[in-house]
Amino acid sequence: MTSITADRLTRTFGDLTAVDNLTFELPAGGVVGFVGPNGSGKSTTIRVLLGLIAASGGTGTVLGESIEHPERFAHRVGALIEGPTFVGSLTAWDNLRSLAALRGLPKRRIHEVLDIVGLSGREHDRASTFSLGMKQRLGIAAALLPDPELLVLDEPTNGLDPAGIVEIRSLLKSLADGRRTVVVSSHLMSEIQAMADDLVVIRFGKLLYSGSLDGLMDDAVERVIAEPEHRSDLPQLLDAVESQGWSHGSTGGIVSIELPADRSADVDRLARTTGINLRQLTPQRDNLEDLFLRLTGSSDAELTAGRSDQRNSGATS
């Protein structure tokens, strides 16, 4: 069962292709990470899928309904796109009451969503007095008003301090029950790795990966840092590593060896067999950011730098 599908989905802005022939399926239930660096086309893709802007080509479905008819699924979807916007002079309650009235929702639902996001007791405070983290919680509360089957959040931890990020992450994981799917768009790979069950990875509007997080992490490699106790043993250690055909490098008396995950013990056995005592044997496994860099061949800077042509054209991340 799927929550969202895209079939050759494309969106252009003049000469810029912000979404480039995307095809993927998002499973129903759990947390789905929609990831890529700033300027990769994440927000534009979400807007197209939710019917906020039209596709230039291709098609898709949301909860089994065509994206060409968003009125058929809008009541089953809650979304927070590019940060929450509220009337600062109104209280949290009044802001949510206005939104609930527009959708014909009962007032009791306001109490329910405030409790879910941890804002009970602050409902009569003006939105202008809220911290950034509280405003994000209020935005999520607004998205939860219709009790949606699909919750779509665009960069929900953007600008938060570490404590705020942990709080939002815990909240989102709790919301992704068996009935609800939570789609989280983010350029923060570490946050997605900490909460997602499945992933869609894009760069420059093109699909790089679609599938389970575990499936992608299976491709992780382990870098084992080995340092012989005696510097004079380094040539012998290098010869032994080369005899195994392992990819490696050496600098300053330390050998860095690339292996499939969880194989560091092989290096220890090899050293002992060769009669070399190791001062250091440290495994360093790839995380999601490492895998992303390998997928794209991009630099660390590209993970945080958006494309100026997209920003200037009106296409979003």
- pLDDT at position 228 is 94
In the chain, where are the structural domains located? 2-217, 221-285
Cβ-Cβ contacts under 8 Å for 207 (sequence gap 6 or more)? 22, 23, 24, 200, 201
Q: Residue 79 — very low, low, confident or very high, per pLDDT cuts 50/70/90? A: very high
Q: At residue 67, does pLDDT exceed 60? A: yes
Please give the mean pLDDT across all residues of the chain. Answer: 88
The whole model's pTM is what?
Answer: 0.79
Q: At residue 305, does pLDDT exceed 60? A: no
- pLDDT at position 317 is 61
Q: At residue 315, does pLDDT exceed 80? A: no
- More confident of the two residues 308 and 259: 259
The mean per-residue pLDDT over the stretch 119-125 comes to: 94
Q: At residue 310, does pLDDT exceed 80? A: no
Q: At residue 262, does pLDDT exceed 80? A: no
For the chain, what percent of residues have pLDDT higher than 90? 63
For the chain, what percent of residues have pLDDT higher than 70? 93
Cβ-Cβ contacts under 8 Å for 229 (sequence gap 6 or more)? 276, 277, 278, 279
Q: DSSP letter at 61?
A: E
The mean per-residue pLDDT over the stretch 140-159 comes to: 92
- Residue 195 has a CB neighbour count (10 Å cut-off) of 22
Q: At residue 306, does pLDDT exceed 50? A: no
- pLDDT at position 87 is 94
Instruction: Give the 3-state secondary structure of residue 223.
Output: strand
Topology of the domain covering 2-217: Rossmann fold (3.40.50)
Q: At residue 74, does pLDDT exceed 90? A: yes
Q: Tell me: the pLDDT tens digits for 213-253?
A: 988 888 777 889 999 999 999 999 999 999 999 989 998 88
- pLDDT at position 179 is 82
CATH 1.10.287.3240 fits 221-285, yes or no: no
Q: Are strands 198-203 and 30-35 parallel, antiparallel or unpaired?
A: parallel
Q: DSSP letter at 14?
A: T
- pLDDT at position 146 is 95
Cβ-Cβ contacts under 8 Å for 234 (sequence gap 6 or more)? 228, 250, 253, 255
Q: Tell me: the pLDDT tens digits for 156-196?
A: 887 788 888 888 889 899 899 778 999 999 888 888 999 99
Residue with tokens 């010869």: 239
- More confident of the two residues 89 and 165: 89
- Residue 208 has a CB neighbour count (10 Å cut-off) of 18
Q: Residue 298 — very low, low, confident or very high, per pLDDT cuts 50/70/90? A: low
